[in-house]
Amino acid sequence: MERKMSWTVADAVDYKGFPADKSKTGGWVPAALILGIEIVERLSTMGIAVNLVTYLGGTMHLPSSTSANIVSDFMGTSFLLCLLGGFLADSFLGRYKTIAIFSTVQMLGTGTLALATKLPQLRPPACHPHQPCQEANGFQMGILYLALYLIALGTGGLKSSVSGFGTDQFDDKDEKEKAQMAYFFNRFFFFISIGTLTAVTVLVYIQDEVGRSLGYGICSIAMVVAIVIFLSGTTRYRYKKSSGSPIVHIFQVIVGAVRKRNLDLPYDVGMLYETTPEDSRIHHTDQFLCLDKAAIVAEGDFEENINGGSSSSPNPWKLSPVTRVEEVKMMARLLPIWATTIIFWTTYAQMITYSVIQATTMDRSMGSFKIPAGSLTVFFVAAILITLALYDRLVMPLWKKWKGTPGFTNLQRIALGLVLSTVGMAVSALIERKRLGAAKSEGRHNSTLTMSVFYLIPQFFLVGSGEAFMYTGQLDFFLTQSPKSMKTMSTGLFLTTLSLGFFVSSFLVSVIKKVTSASHGGQDWLADNINYGRLDLFYGLLAVLGVVNFVVYLICSIWFKPRKNKSAVEMETVMNGNGEEKC
**pLDDT at residue 392, as a whole number:** 78
Band of pLDDT at residue 374, cut at 50, 70 and 90? confident
The DSSP annotation for 51-85 comes to: HHHHHHHHTS---HHHHHHHHHHHHHHHHHHHHHH
Range of the domain at 254: 246-320
Distance of alpha carbon 532 from the chain centroid: 34
Distance of alpha carbon 412 from the chain centroid: 19
**pLDDT at residue 186, as a whole number:** 58
Residue 525 lies in a domain: yes
Which has the minimum average pLDDT: 64-68, 395-399, 423-427, 532-536?
Answer: 395-399
Band of pLDDT at residue 569, cut at 50, 70 and 90? very low
- For residue 12, the cross-strand partners are 240
Residue 134 lies in a domain: yes
Distance of alpha carbon 275 from the chain centroid: 35
Which has the minimum average pLDDT: 156-165, 330-339, 517-526?
Answer: 517-526
Q: Which secondary-structure segment (H or E) carries 215?
A: helix 212-232
**pLDDT at residue 562, as a whole number:** 64
**pLDDT at residue 6, as a whole number:** 52
Looking at the fold, whether 498 and 541 belong to one and the same domain comes out as yes
Report the C-alpha gap between 323 and 314 in whole angstroms: 15
- Tens-place pLDDT, residues 228-265: 999 998 988 988 876 667 788 889 999 999 999 999 88
54 contacts 64 by C-beta, under 8 angstroms:
no
Segment 212-218 shows an average pLDDT of: 91
Residue 538 lies in a domain: yes
Band of pLDDT at residue 280, cut at 50, 70 and 90? confident
**pLDDT at residue 308, as a whole number:** 52
Residue 1 lies in a domain: no
Q: Is the pLDDT of residue 169 over 90?
A: no
Residue 168 lies in a domain: yes
- For residue 304, the cross-strand partners are 310
**pLDDT at residue 573, as a whole number:** 35
Q: Is the pLDDT of residue 545 over 90?
A: yes
Looking at the fold, whether 496 and 560 belong to one and the same domain comes out as yes
CATH code of the domain in which 93 resides: 1.20.1250.20
Dmax (CA) of the chain: 89
Looking at the fold, whether 427 and 506 belong to one and the same domain comes out as yes
26 contacts 167 by C-beta, under 8 angstroms:
no
* Tally of domains within the chain: 3
**pLDDT at residue 338, as a whole number:** 93
Segment 337-347 shows an average pLDDT of: 94
Q: By C-alpha distance, which of 72, 136, 74, 50 is closest to 359?
A: 50
Band of pLDDT at residue 113, cut at 50, 70 and 90? very high
> When comparing pLDDT for 520 and 187, which is higher?
187
Looking at the fold, whether 38 and 156 belong to one and the same domain comes out as yes
Q: Is the pLDDT of residue 364 over 70?
A: yes
Segment 327-354 shows an average pLDDT of: 91
> When comparing pLDDT for 115 and 196, which is higher?
115
Looking at the fold, whether 308 and 379 belong to one and the same domain comes out as no
Residue 3 lies in a domain: no
Residue 531 lies in a domain: yes
Segment 283-297 shows an average pLDDT of: 88
Which has the minimum average pLDDT: 86-95, 396-405, 542-551?
Answer: 396-405
CB-side neighbour CA atoms (13 Å) of 507 = 9
Which has the minimum average pLDDT: 21-35, 140-154, 314-328?
Answer: 21-35
Looking at the fold, whether 437 and 571 belong to one and the same domain comes out as yes
Segment 269-284 shows an average pLDDT of: 83
Residue 349 lies in a domain: yes
Residue ending a domain, among 320, 351, 368, is 320
Looking at the fold, whether 355 and 441 belong to one and the same domain comes out as yes
Residue ending a domain, among 191, 210, 242, is 242
Looking at the fold, whether 353 and 471 belong to one and the same domain comes out as yes
Which has the minimum average pLDDT: 128-132, 340-344, 369-373?
Answer: 128-132
> When comparing pLDDT for 143 and 268, which is higher?
143
User: How much of the chain exceeds pLDDT 70, in percent?
Assistant: 89
Q: Is the pLDDT of residue 579 over 50?
A: no
Looking at the fold, whether 302 and 345 belong to one and the same domain comes out as no
pTM, rounded to two decimals: 0.79
Segment 351-362 shows an average pLDDT of: 88
> When comparing pLDDT for 200 and 184, which is higher?
200
Most confidently predicted of 8-17, 126-135, 146-155, 552-561: 146-155
Report the C-alpha gap between 48 and 199 in whole angstroms: 8
Report the C-alpha gap between 387 and 404 in whole angstroms: 21
Query: 46: how many CB neighbours lie within 10 A of its CB?
Result: 25
Residue ending a domain, among 320, 349, 379, is 320
Backbone angles phi, psi at 206, to 5 degrees: -60, -45
Looking at the fold, whether 127 and 233 belong to one and the same domain comes out as yes
Report the C-alpha gap between 534 and 547 in whole angstroms: 21
Looking at the fold, whether 275 and 185 belong to one and the same domain comes out as no
Looking at the fold, whether 315 and 332 belong to one and the same domain comes out as no
Q: Is the pLDDT of residue 182 over 70?
A: no
- Mean pLDDT score across all residues of the chain: 83
**pLDDT at residue 298, as a whole number:** 87
